[in-house]
């Protein structure tokens, strides 16, 4: 079964973007550095052709640095796209990325450069806009789809930047992609069961980042060999229990997902260029 999560305002935004993109000079596409290909909307790939564009790998501070570097090289070399890795709350990093993009715009300096911020929900678009503006001009939150309407902000350097609502696509496939997006927080938790997300995350962490598990949960000695036992062990040790001493899987799953999303489990990336089937990309 594929994951579906496409709130009504996203359909409206999709139609508006088609028209709005034609009126801007460049696209500042914010993706999640932990899964930069899976967090790239294939719809945006199609309508962005011919536009100056930059892939901004946000949340790089909680992503695996080696994987992030590999992605920067991939986008630059194989996709011939500008790319930058940033932490959205660091003004110098965000400003440098924007300046690099604007420098590619062919314009009379007297004319404002029009840049649109695009991307899927919860990649940090509004956070980056607030950082660039030096004040709160856009709502932020730790749940997807906080921004609902397009908004314009004037920045230094004769730049107008437009924030847009995050949009996903109607059906997210393959399912592993949807689960990775759900684990990162891009998909509403109502679309996928917490236990299923945690099971996916636990299996992934056991395979790719066992040292991170041991460091965060030192009581896992020895490290469990399967995801279910891992969730049970974390739940039992952290007091996620029901009456009778039975593990509350929902609470245990929520705990693991919160640790993963916040970076408390360490700097983790869900994908690398080496293990992604490039046919998965639609550009």
Does residue 70 have a pLDDT over 80? yes
pLDDT value of position 186: 83
pLDDT of 95-120, one tens digit each?
999 999 999 998 877 789 999 999 88
Distance CA 162, CA 165 (A): 10
Query: What's the mean pLDDT when you consider all of the chain?
Result: 85
Does residue 79 have a pLDDT over 60? yes
Vertex 49, ends 182 and 108: CA angle to 5°? Answer: 115
pLDDT of 165-198, one tens digit each?
777 655 566 778 888 988 998 876 666 688 899 9
If you search the block for the tokens 């999709």, which residue do you land on?
14
Give the range with max mean pLDDT: 111-115, 236-240, 242-246.
Answer: 236-240
pLDDT value of position 259: 96
The CATH number of 3-169 is: 3.40.50.300
| Percent of the chain topping pLDDT 70 | 83
CATH architecture of the domain covering 193-262: Orthogonal Bundle (1.10)
Q: What is the pTM of this model?
A: 0.86
Does residue 214 have a pLDDT over 90? yes
If you search the block for the tokens 């930047």, which residue do you land on?
161
Contacts with 153 (C-beta within 8 Å, 6 or more apart), sequence order: 129, 132, 133, 137, 138, 160, 161, 162, 163
Every domain of the chain and the residues it spans: 3-169, 193-262
């Amino acid at each position: 079964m594929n994951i579906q999560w496409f709130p009504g305002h996203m359909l409206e935004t999709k139609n508006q973007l088609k028209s709005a993109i034609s009126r801007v000079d460049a696209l500042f596409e914010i993706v999640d550095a932990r899964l930069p290909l899976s967090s790239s909307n294939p719809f945006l790939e199609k309508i962005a052709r011919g536009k100056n564009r930059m892939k901004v790998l946000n949340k790089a501070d909680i992503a695996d640095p080696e994987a992030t570097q590999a992605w920067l090289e991939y986008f630059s070399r194989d996709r011939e796209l500008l790319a930058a890795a940033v932490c959205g709350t660091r003004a110098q990093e965000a400003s440098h990325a924007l300046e690099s993009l604007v420098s590619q715009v062919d314009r009379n300096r007297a004319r404002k450069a029009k840049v649109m911020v695009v991307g899927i929900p919860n990649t940090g678009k509004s956070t980056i806009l607030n950082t660039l503006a030096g004040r709160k001009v856009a709502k932020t939150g730790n749940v997807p789809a906080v921004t609902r309407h397009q908004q314009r902000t004037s920045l230094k350097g004769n730049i107008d930047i437009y924030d847009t609502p995050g949009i996903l696509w109607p059906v997210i496939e393959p399912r592993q992609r949807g689960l990775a997006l759900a684990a990162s927080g891009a998909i509403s938790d109502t679309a996928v069961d917490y236990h299923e997300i945690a099971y996916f995350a636990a299996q992934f962490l056991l395979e790719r980042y066992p040292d991170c598990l041991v460091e965060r949960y030192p009581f896992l000695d020895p490290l469990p060999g399967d995801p279910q036992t891992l969730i049970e062990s974390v739940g039992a040790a952290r007091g996620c229990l029901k009456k009778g001493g039975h593990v509350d899987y929902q609470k245990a799953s929520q705990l693991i997902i919160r640790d993963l999303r916040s970076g408390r489990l360490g700097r983790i990336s869900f994908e690398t260029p080496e293990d992604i089937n490039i046919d998965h990309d639609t550009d």
